[in-house]
Protein backbone atom coordinates (compact mmCIF):
# COMPACT_ATOMS: atom_id res chain seq x y z
CA UNK A 1 0.00 0.00 0.00
CA UNK A 2 1.20 3.52 -0.79
CA UNK A 3 2.45 5.51 2.21
CA UNK A 4 -0.13 7.76 3.84
CA UNK A 5 0.13 11.44 2.91
CA UNK A 6 2.40 13.56 5.08
CA UNK A 7 -0.44 15.58 6.60
CA UNK A 8 -2.31 15.69 9.89
CA UNK A 9 -6.03 16.11 10.48
CA UNK A 10 -7.79 17.76 13.42
CA UNK A 11 -11.41 16.73 13.94
CA UNK A 12 -14.05 19.28 14.91
CA UNK A 13 -17.06 18.06 16.89
CA UNK A 14 -20.11 20.07 17.98
CA UNK A 15 -18.93 21.82 21.14
CA UNK A 16 -15.22 21.38 20.48
CA UNK A 17 -13.41 24.55 21.58
CA UNK A 18 -9.72 23.72 21.06
CA UNK A 19 -9.63 22.68 17.43
CA UNK A 20 -8.27 25.98 16.09
CA UNK A 21 -5.64 26.21 18.82
CA UNK A 22 -4.55 22.68 17.89
CA UNK A 23 -4.37 23.55 14.20
CA UNK A 24 -2.33 26.65 15.09
CA UNK A 25 0.03 24.58 17.27
CA UNK A 26 0.67 22.16 14.40
CA UNK A 27 1.20 24.93 11.87
CA UNK A 28 3.66 26.58 14.26
CA UNK A 29 5.90 23.52 13.87
CA UNK A 30 5.38 23.48 10.08
CA UNK A 31 3.10 20.46 10.05
CA UNK A 32 0.59 20.44 7.15
CA UNK A 33 -2.85 20.12 8.73
CA UNK A 34 -6.53 20.13 7.79
CA UNK A 35 -9.57 20.75 9.98
CA UNK A 36 -12.22 18.12 9.24
CA UNK A 37 -15.86 17.77 10.34
CA UNK A 38 -17.06 14.95 12.60
CA UNK A 39 -19.96 14.00 10.31
CA UNK A 40 -17.69 13.37 7.32
CA UNK A 41 -15.93 10.05 6.68
CA UNK A 42 -12.26 9.91 7.59
CA UNK A 43 -10.04 9.31 4.54
CA UNK A 44 -7.18 7.23 6.03
CA UNK A 45 -4.94 7.42 2.97
CA UNK A 46 -5.00 11.23 3.05
CA UNK A 47 -3.29 11.53 6.45
CA UNK A 48 -0.55 10.06 8.58
CA UNK A 49 -1.88 11.49 11.86
CA UNK A 50 -5.17 12.64 13.36
CA UNK A 51 -5.86 14.69 16.49
CA UNK A 52 -9.08 14.57 18.50
CA UNK A 53 -8.91 17.95 20.26
CA UNK A 54 -10.17 19.09 23.63
CA UNK A 55 -13.31 20.94 24.51
CA UNK A 56 -16.71 19.31 24.67
CA UNK A 57 -18.84 17.20 22.35
CA UNK A 58 -22.50 16.45 21.81
CA UNK A 59 -23.71 13.86 24.31
CA UNK A 60 -21.17 14.71 27.01
CA UNK A 61 -24.06 15.17 29.45
CA UNK A 62 -24.44 11.38 29.38
CA UNK A 63 -20.73 10.64 29.72
CA UNK A 64 -17.82 12.46 28.15
CA UNK A 65 -17.22 11.09 24.65
CA UNK A 66 -20.02 8.51 24.90
CA UNK A 67 -21.98 9.79 21.89
CA UNK A 68 -19.17 11.45 19.95
CA UNK A 69 -17.37 8.12 19.63
CA UNK A 70 -20.21 7.06 17.27
CA UNK A 71 -19.68 10.04 14.94
CA UNK A 72 -19.18 8.99 11.28
CA UNK A 73 -15.54 10.11 11.34
CA UNK A 74 -14.71 7.71 14.16
CA UNK A 75 -15.18 4.49 12.19
CA UNK A 76 -12.44 5.52 9.79
CA UNK A 77 -10.21 6.70 12.62
CA UNK A 78 -10.58 3.34 14.38
CA UNK A 79 -9.49 1.50 11.21
CA UNK A 80 -6.70 4.02 10.72
CA UNK A 81 -5.44 3.45 14.27
CA UNK A 82 -5.63 -0.32 13.95
CA UNK A 83 -3.43 -0.08 10.84
CA UNK A 84 -0.81 1.92 12.72
CA UNK A 85 -1.89 5.48 11.98
CA UNK A 86 -0.93 8.08 14.59
CA UNK A 87 -3.81 9.20 16.82
CA UNK A 88 -3.57 11.87 19.52
CA UNK A 89 -6.51 12.50 21.85
CA UNK A 90 -6.44 15.60 24.05
CA UNK A 91 -8.87 15.94 27.00
CA UNK A 92 -12.29 15.26 25.42
CA UNK A 93 -10.42 13.51 22.61
CA UNK A 94 -8.80 11.23 25.21
CA UNK A 95 -12.25 10.47 26.59
CA UNK A 96 -13.44 9.54 23.08
CA UNK A 97 -10.51 7.16 22.61
CA UNK A 98 -11.45 5.39 25.83
CA UNK A 99 -15.10 5.17 24.81
CA UNK A 100 -14.09 3.80 21.41
CA UNK A 101 -11.90 1.12 23.02
CA UNK A 102 -8.77 2.42 21.33
CA UNK A 103 -7.22 2.95 24.76
CA UNK A 104 -7.93 0.93 27.92
CA UNK A 105 -9.70 2.21 31.01
CA UNK A 106 -12.38 4.78 31.77
CA UNK A 107 -12.89 8.32 33.03
CA UNK A 108 -14.87 9.20 36.16
CA UNK A 109 -15.91 12.58 37.51
CA UNK A 110 -13.10 14.46 39.19
CA UNK A 111 -12.68 13.35 42.79
CA UNK A 112 -13.61 16.88 43.89
CA UNK A 113 -16.81 16.68 41.80
CA UNK A 114 -15.77 20.09 40.48
CA UNK A 115 -14.60 21.29 37.09
CA UNK A 116 -10.85 21.92 37.37
CA UNK A 117 -9.17 24.59 35.26
CA UNK A 118 -5.58 25.23 36.32
CA UNK A 119 -1.93 24.76 35.48
CA UNK A 120 -0.44 21.39 36.38
CA UNK A 121 2.90 19.62 36.11
CA UNK A 122 3.32 16.26 34.40
CA UNK A 123 6.32 13.92 34.49
CA UNK A 124 7.15 12.02 31.32
CA UNK A 125 7.20 8.29 32.04
CA UNK A 126 7.72 6.89 28.54
CA UNK A 127 9.39 8.28 25.42
CA UNK A 128 8.86 5.41 22.99
CA UNK A 129 5.76 6.86 21.37
CA UNK A 130 6.02 9.19 18.34
CA UNK A 131 4.41 11.93 20.43
CA UNK A 132 7.01 11.99 23.20
CA UNK A 133 10.25 11.18 21.40
CA UNK A 134 11.37 14.78 21.74
CA UNK A 135 11.15 14.45 25.54
CA UNK A 136 13.38 12.67 28.02
CA UNK A 137 12.14 10.30 30.69
CA UNK A 138 11.56 12.19 33.92
CA UNK A 139 11.12 15.54 32.14
CA UNK A 140 8.53 17.74 33.87
CA UNK A 141 6.10 19.60 31.61
CA UNK A 142 3.90 22.51 32.64
CA UNK A 143 0.50 22.45 30.91
CA UNK A 144 -3.06 23.47 31.80
CA UNK A 145 -6.06 21.23 32.43
CA UNK A 146 -9.75 22.09 31.96
CA UNK A 147 -12.11 19.19 32.63
CA UNK A 148 -14.79 17.75 34.85
CA UNK A 149 -14.13 14.08 34.05
CA UNK A 150 -10.41 13.42 34.29
CA UNK A 151 -10.36 10.83 37.06
CA UNK A 152 -8.75 8.03 35.07
CA UNK A 153 -9.27 4.42 36.13
CA UNK A 154 -7.21 1.64 34.55
CA UNK A 155 -8.57 -1.79 33.73
CA UNK A 156 -6.55 -4.60 35.32
CA UNK A 157 -3.45 -2.39 35.27
CA UNK A 158 -3.24 -2.63 31.48
CA UNK A 159 -2.68 1.08 30.92
CA UNK A 160 0.77 1.97 29.64
CA UNK A 161 1.49 5.20 31.44
CA UNK A 162 3.00 8.02 29.38
CA UNK A 163 2.77 10.86 31.92
CA UNK A 164 1.85 11.32 35.58
CA UNK A 165 0.77 14.41 37.50
CA UNK A 166 3.57 15.68 39.73
CA UNK A 167 4.83 18.81 41.44
CA UNK A 168 7.28 21.27 39.88
CA UNK A 169 10.22 19.10 41.02
CA UNK A 170 8.77 15.93 39.49
CA UNK A 171 7.53 14.33 42.71
CA UNK A 172 4.39 12.24 42.23
CA UNK A 173 2.07 12.60 45.20
CA UNK A 174 -1.66 12.81 46.04
CA UNK A 175 -1.29 16.55 46.49
CA UNK A 176 -0.14 16.92 42.89
CA UNK A 177 -3.13 14.98 41.54
CA UNK A 178 -5.79 17.48 40.37
CA UNK A 179 -8.59 15.03 39.62
CA UNK A 180 -7.99 11.85 41.64
CA UNK A 181 -6.75 9.82 38.68
CA UNK A 182 -5.44 6.35 39.52
CA UNK A 183 -1.69 6.46 40.22
CA UNK A 184 -1.64 10.15 39.15
CA UNK A 185 -2.05 9.09 35.51
CA UNK A 186 -2.23 12.08 33.15
CA UNK A 187 -1.58 10.30 29.83
CA UNK A 188 -1.50 6.76 28.46
CA UNK A 189 -0.51 5.10 25.20
CA UNK A 190 -1.52 1.88 23.54
CA UNK A 191 0.48 -1.31 23.71
CA UNK A 192 1.58 -2.76 21.42
CA UNK A 193 1.89 -0.12 18.75
CA UNK A 194 2.64 3.07 20.64
CA UNK A 195 0.75 4.89 17.89
CA UNK A 196 -2.10 6.17 20.09
CA UNK A 197 -1.69 8.68 22.92
CA UNK A 198 -4.39 10.13 25.16
CA UNK A 199 -3.67 12.93 27.61
CA UNK A 200 -5.83 15.15 29.81
CA UNK A 201 -3.61 18.29 29.89
CA UNK A 202 -3.80 20.67 26.92
CA UNK A 203 -0.46 20.95 25.09
CA UNK A 204 -1.98 23.34 22.53
CA UNK A 205 -2.59 25.81 25.38
CA UNK A 206 1.07 25.57 26.40
CA UNK A 207 2.60 26.21 23.01
CA UNK A 208 4.04 29.70 23.49
CA UNK A 209 5.75 31.56 26.32
CA UNK A 210 3.06 34.25 26.01
CA UNK A 211 0.54 31.63 27.13
CA UNK A 212 2.53 30.82 30.28
CA UNK A 213 4.44 27.80 28.99
CA UNK A 214 5.75 26.37 25.74
CA UNK A 215 6.26 22.86 27.13
CA UNK A 216 3.41 21.46 25.05
CA UNK A 217 5.26 22.38 21.87
CA UNK A 218 7.56 19.37 22.10
CA UNK A 219 4.56 17.06 21.64
CA UNK A 220 3.63 18.81 18.41
CA UNK A 221 7.26 18.94 17.27
CA UNK A 222 7.52 15.18 17.72
CA UNK A 223 4.23 14.63 15.91
CA UNK A 224 5.30 16.89 13.05
CA UNK A 225 8.56 14.96 12.70
CA UNK A 226 6.60 11.69 12.50
CA UNK A 227 4.23 13.18 9.91
CA UNK A 228 7.13 14.24 7.70
CA UNK A 229 8.31 10.63 7.60
CA UNK A 230 5.04 8.72 7.32
CA UNK A 231 5.04 4.96 7.49
CA UNK A 232 2.88 2.76 5.33
CA UNK A 233 -0.41 1.99 7.11
Active site (catalytic) residues = 91, 202, 204
Q: Using CA atoms, how far apart are residues 201 and 171, in angstroms rounded to an integer?
A: 17
User: Looking at 77-194, which runs of residues are DSSP E strands?
Assistant: 86-90, 106-108, 116-124, 140-147, 151-153, 160-166, 185-189
Q: What are phi and psi of 77, to 5 degrees?
A: -65, -40
Q: Using CA atoms, how far apart are residues 154 and 121, in angstroms rounded to an integer?
A: 21
Q: Using CA atoms, how far apart are residues 148 and 18, in angstroms rounded to an integer?
A: 16
Amino acid sequence: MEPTAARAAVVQFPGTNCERETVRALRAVECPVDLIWHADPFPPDAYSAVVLPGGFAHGDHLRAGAIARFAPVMAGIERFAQRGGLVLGICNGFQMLLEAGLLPGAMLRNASLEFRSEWVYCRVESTDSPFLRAASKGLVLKMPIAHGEGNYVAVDDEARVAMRYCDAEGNVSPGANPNGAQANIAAIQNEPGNNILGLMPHPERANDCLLGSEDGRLIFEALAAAVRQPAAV
